[in-house]
Amino acid sequence: NSLIHGFCREGRMREATRLFREIKGVAKANGVTYTTLIDGYCRMNDVDEALRLREVMESRGFCPGVVTYNSILRKLCEDGRIREANR
């Protein structure tokens, strides 16, 4: 999680996603891993990928928390996608 977080903070989403895919084969991703990537995508102005990953997160049995939703809602509002944010 720390390496993925570091890549996300640096805006290196390609590396973060690659590492995420690699560790899925060795270890289980957890809610923190998904939230870190979702926040990273939001920071890199890719809220659609963040929303897609949130769906994957939920399909794998993880419940998005306050941090996850705050990241997504903040970016949707910044992008003027208020209706989507209200859903």
DSSP string, 52-70: HHHHHHHHTTPPP-HHHHH
What pTM was estimated for this model as a whole?
Answer: 0.84
CATH topology for 2-86 is 1.25.40
- Each of the 87 residues of the chain gets a pLDDT tens digit; together they read 888 999 999 999 999 999 988 887 666 778 999 999 999 999 999 999 999 999 999 999 999 999 999 999 999 999 999 999 988
- Residue 42's Cβ-count burial label (10 Å; 0-12, 13-18, 19+) is buried
Residues in the chain: 87
Show me where the domains of the chain are located. Answer: 2-86
pLDDT score of 26? 67
Asked if residues 68 and 35 have their Cβ atoms less than 8 Å apart, the reply is yes
